[in-house]
Chains A and B, each alone.
Chain A
Amino acid sequence: MLQNRTAQRRRLALVGLAGVVALSLSACAQSQRSADTSNGSGKVGGTLTFGAAGAPKLFDPFYATDGETFRVARQMFQGLVGFKPGTAQAQPDLAEKWDSSPDGKTWTFALKTGVKFHDGTDFNADAVCANFNRWYGQKGAAQSDAVSQYWVDNFGGFSDGAKPSLYKSCTAKDAKTAVIELTAVTSKFPDVLGLPSFVMQSPTAMKKYDADNVTAQGDSFTYPSYALEHPTGTGPFKFGKYDKANNTVELVKNDDYAGDKVKLDKLVFKIIPNETARKQALQAGDIDGYDFPNAADWDQLKKAGFNVAIRPAFNILYLGINQKNVPQLRDLKVRQAIAYGINREQLVKSQLPEGAKVADEFIPDTVTGYTPDVQKYNYDPEKAKSLLKEAGATDLTLNFWWPSEVTRPYMPSPKDIFGALSADLAKIGIKTNAVTKPWNGGYIDGIDQAQADLFLFGWTGDFNTPDNFLAQFFGAPDNRLTTGASPWGQSLADSIKAADAEPNKDKRTQLYQDINKKVMGEYLPAVPVSHSPPALVLKSDIKGLVPSPLTDERFGSVSKG
């Protein structure tokens, strides 16, 4: 019994110790909650929680190109140029209007007045120039393609002069007038300024938090605290916090927003990488909406009373043809046979979501330079067979690649699309070897290293210029299609550059239409397949969100309940 009592005493001591530990812990861990306990529910106000597929890279969109970063940035920032809601059409945002000199190299922006950054700094011409000069003045690791990619893609080099740059200078003529000078004419300007990468950020905050201090180390980059914790813009929401332990990004209402009054108190992005998990979170009521619902779920979600908001299609899926390894593919007739031999009408009807269209050329019809007057390739297997015979390519076996474990906005189910296309090709006598790899696990690499003869690939437009599509595909002869293997590869690239540099708008449109005609009639480097609309899904009580072809949805005007 004596032993029993010691055991009891020991146990008591243990409980006592645990109590002391808990007490001392709570003594040094006071609740840091604010006294304000107002519970944000009700018609005006409230918290909207949106399911995001991935974590934002950071919060300074200049150093990003990914949709997750941009989605958050679009709520906090504004650019000089914005987009008309629901379209890809550029319209004034922080600039009231703009004019260009006759030679197309000098642009004068008249700025909105009375706008302030979240930290109280005035938005004016000096701030505009500070932003332009900051982009132009990037140094060291920050100049990498993976860091300042949109600048490199659209403006070229930096102030160190190592590579030529499109940007020349910015002058603050007066507080509300900024003049931008370019070194050459480009069709992209000023639409390109609508990209989230080129939004206006507070010069004060950028200086205070060392915004340009990007370093490379080993196999990764390190970003400054401005980009991680202190993004400061002019938009309807201010940065709240990024709760990494709970995988949420929280933005709060900007009461001093210069535009229409913001309705929501809080906007939370909850990161749920798994698509099924996002759907279930919506069904369970844990989130108010999410992006890119699987097209196969649209009907089910609609029936359950959710609002499936379909975006206008601003993308393209194409069947890539790489000329490098199979000499027959350098023959236009063979490529045309492939185009005639695949039943795109049927594919769009059976495999793609509502609202998808067959693609006649490599740009959607909302982009300037689109022309209905191109050679069409309506499904005609007999013609395909005879073209193959003429070309002497009746016994063709091609490596046909498709990506596994991925859906892209332009390609909901790669496997099914591959299945349909390869069956069509078999009917005209082209045998295919199926090769499948994970998107990031060898697919893109293999495509870029020209290992595939046929492959599925695509593009989503960043802004409304044909260059944004055409230059991506054919802008250099060394590309995913190896167009350089054909004699026209170089001249196609040159003609795209020439069109981009044409200052006269009408002439430029004409040049692009000519390119589209030639691409479809004389070159056919690949077969455009479809434009497919991506969607987002929302609870029925979420009002005011306008689906955008550029995924440029702004939550400032959105209300809940």
Chain B
Amino acid sequence: MLRYTVRRLLQMVVVLLVLSLLVFAWLRALPGGPVSALLGERATPESRHDLIVQLGLDQPIFVQYLKFLGRALTGNFGTSNGVQPGTTAMDLFLTRFPATIELSVFAIIIAVVFGIPLGYMAAKRRGGWFDNATVIGSLVGIAVPVFFLAFLLKYIFAVKLGVLPSDSRQSVTDATRVTGFFVLDGIITQEWDAAWDAFRHLILPAIALGTIPFAVVFRITRAAVLDVLDEDYVRTAESKGLTAQLIRRRHVLRNAMLPVVTTIGLQTGALLAGAVLTENVFAFPGVGQALALGFERRDYPVLQLLIMMAAMVYVVVNLLVDLSYALIDPRIRTR
């Protein structure tokens, strides 16, 4: 197990190195760049040239890359020059990542809390009206684009009804910050109003972001439960006279969970893509918003770091999913 984990982590390092080179070259191949973003209308041929030299953008790309790598090894990923100018890319990541995690966790909670029970119930009532209604509902959930749903939710609940906030993470301005997860911070410092306020800010974006994972989890759960319900061991358990509760927990759900957990893991990667859209609609200062802004403003240092971090998160989450199989399915553990 340990050897397996270490090997996977080493593979990750290689993946990240290759990716960093690709991202580095790709960014610099894009039209535009930090020079026009920084100077804008004021650019003159002279000032452009000076700035290009100053930023080292006139050097061969591999020289630039090696320098970048050298600095990166010392933990220096440069300073943002577009998204949050003046902030180091690492700082920017560290202040924004908790926001995206908080949002994603709430989205996943919504997906799991509603997806698994509904999927189970739909499977148990296969063909009934409940099954049909929820299956159609989940199809709609998958089909509606995230940004459209986000926009719609915001328009109805924030702009028209005014019951939930429309943007950012918190309105309380004097909340104490400890972990960067605002809801958690509010709870552990017992600033209940701050926690509640942060929670209210999460509701709409989390629903928008959680809809697709919810629909996917629902459908996978339903399919998996249907499969398992046909298995011999379930029938055996039934004929043994075990209670329905015990059959559900020990035999059906545990066996059906394997594909569901895989799905949740894969969806976590997709969440980051969804977060780019959701965070933009709700002006939610997370990593997704920074990616979109960084692209628009050609913020090389920020894009470089964020893309690498996104890749790393994806790889780590997949590793965790693989490891979690062992917990759910003892057969894998013994192997």
Question: Could you tell me which A residues sit within 8 Å of B by CB distance?
Answer: 22, 25-26, 29-34, 47, 55-58, 65, 141, 144-146, 149, 152-153, 216-223, 227-228, 243-248, 250, 266, 268, 270-274, 277, 280-281, 283-286, 405, 437-438, 440-446, 448, 457-460, 472, 476, 478-479
Contacts and interface: CB of A to CB of B under 8 A. Distances in A.
B50 A144 contact: yes
B167 A245 contact: no
A537 B300 CA distance: 33
B40 interface: yes
B199 interface: no
Interface of B: 30-45, 47-48, 50-51, 54-57, 64, 67-68, 71, 76, 78-81, 83-88, 91-92, 95-96, 98-99, 154-155, 158-159, 162, 165-171, 173-178, 180, 182, 185, 187-191, 280-283, 285, 289, 293, 296-298, 300-301
B298 A440 contact: yes
A458 B87 contact: no
Contact of B297 (A30, A223, A440): A440
B88 to A, nearest CB: 7
A247 B285 CA distance: 6
Nearest to A22: B188
A59 B83 CA distance: 15
B31 A217 contact: no
Nearest to A152: B47
B32 A444 contact: yes
Given A250-B173, A284-B165, A440-B296, 4 more contacts: A244-B95, A246-B285, A268-B173, A438-B296
Give the top 4 A-B pairs by smallest Cβ distance, nearest first: A442-B31, A444-B36, A220-B79, A57-B85
Nearest to B151: A276
A273 B167 CA distance: 11
Contact of A445 (B33, B51, B91, B175): B33
A476 B191 CA distance: 60
Contacts of B180: 245
Given A31-B189, A228-B86, A153 B42 contact: yes
Contacts of B300: 219-220
Contact of A218 (B40, B56, B99, B175): B56
User: For the complex, would chain A's binding face be called helix, strand, loop or mixed by DSSP majority?
Assistant: mixed
B54 A144 contact: yes
A31 B176 contact: yes
A31 B33 CA distance: 43
Contact of A280 (B158, B191, B297): B158
B159 A280 contact: yes
Nearest to B282: A277
Contacts of A152: 47
B71 A217 contact: yes
A448 B36 CA distance: 9
B24 to A, nearest CB: 10
A281 B177 contact: no
Contacts of B44: 476, 479
Given A22-B188, A216-B54, A459 B41 contact: yes
Contacts of B50: 144-145
A284 B281 CA distance: 14
Contacts of A271: 283, 285
B33 to A, nearest CB: 7
B57 to A, nearest CB: 7
B86 A277 contact: no
A170 B254 CA distance: 80
Contacts of B169: 245-247
B96 A245 contact: yes
Contact of A457 (B41, B165, B174): B41
A222 B79 contact: yes
Contacts of B86: 57-58, 223, 227-228
13 contacts: A25-B188, A243-B173, A245-B95, A245-B180, A266-B173, A271-B283, A273-B280, A281-B166, A281-B283, A283-B159, A440-B32, A448-B45, A460-B41
B99 A245 contact: yes
A274 B288 CA distance: 13
